[in-house]
Amino acid sequence: MFANLQNSADKTPASLAGAEAAAGNGRRSVLHEDITVNGTLTSEGILDVAGSFEGDLTVETLVLARTGKIKGNVRARNVTIEGHLEGTISAISVTLKTSAQVTADIVTQKLVIEPGAMIEGHVTSRSAQKPDQESGSPAA
Question: With 50 as the cut, is the pLDDT of residue 112 above it?
Answer: yes
Q: What is the pLDDT of residues 121-130, one digit of tens each?
A: 999 998 876 4
> CA-based angle 13:14:15, to the nearest 5?
90
d(CA 140, CA 124): 14
pLDDT: is 93 or 23 the higher one?
93
Work out the end-to-end distance of the chain between its first and last CA atoms, rounded to an integer number of angstroms.
Answer: 40
pLDDT-derived band at 10, boundaries 50, 70, 90? very low
**Could you tell me which of 58, 7, 60, 57 has the C-alpha nearest to residue 32?**
7
Question: What is the model's pLDDT at position 22?
Answer: 47
Question: What is the model's pLDDT at position 40?
Answer: 96
Question: With 90 as the cut, is the pLDDT of residue 24 above it?
Answer: no
Q: What is the pLDDT of residues 47-63, one digit of tens each?
A: 999 999 999 999 999 99
Question: With 70 as the cut, is the pLDDT of residue 86 above it?
Answer: yes
d(CA 13, CA 15): 5
Q: Domain limits of the chain?
A: 2-127
pTM: predicted TM-score of the whole model, two decimal places: 0.75
Question: What is the model's pLDDT at position 1?
Answer: 37
Ordered DSSP codes for the chain? -HHHHHHHGGGS-TTHHHHHHHH-S--EEEE-TT-EEEEEEEEEEEEEESSEEEEEEEEEEEEE-TT-EEEEEEEEEEEEESSEEEEEEEEEEEEE-TT-EEEEEEEEEEEEE-TT-EEES-EEE-PPPPGGG--SSS--
Q: What is the mean pLDDT of residues 90-115?
A: 97
